[in-house]
Amino acid sequence: MDKGTLKRNEFSCSSCEKSYTEYKNLRRHVNQVHPENLNTIAPLAVRKYKCSFCKKQYNTKVYLSSHERKVHNVKYYVPLFTFERSHCINILKSIIQY
């Protein structure tokens, strides 16, 4: 037997017992055949990152940040140096003396 025939169907529809190798295909099936049971049979992942400006929610912090930048014009500033000022001055002095 070749590996293609050994592939396991891991995601099964509890309404009609069809099975799929990928979760997104199960969701598509349920959405087309059993739309009233979509959130029961194949719920979306929990979206724990909530926008503080609107009701949108996202799976990752990256998606939330992207949404806030594009939709709400939020600016994120990343400091160039995380050192204290005195430490930076000492580094500059050592470079100048070299």
Q: Does residue 38 sit in helix, strand or coil?
A: helix
pLDDT band at 43, cuts 50/70/90? confident
pLDDT at 72 exceeding the cut of 80: yes
What pTM was computed for the model?
A: 0.41
Burial class (CB in 10 A: 0-12, 13-18, 19+), 6: exposed
What residue segments make up the domains of the chain, in order of their start? Answer: 8-44, 46-98
Structure-token pair, residue 35: 């739309």
What is the DSSP code (8-state) at residue 35?
G
Q: Which residue did the predictor score with more confidence, 37 or 93?
A: 37
Residue 6 to residues 18, 19, 20, Cα–Cα distance (Å) = 17, 14, 14
For residues 48 and 41, the answer to whether their CB atoms sit within 8 Å is: no
pLDDT band at 2, cuts 50/70/90? very low
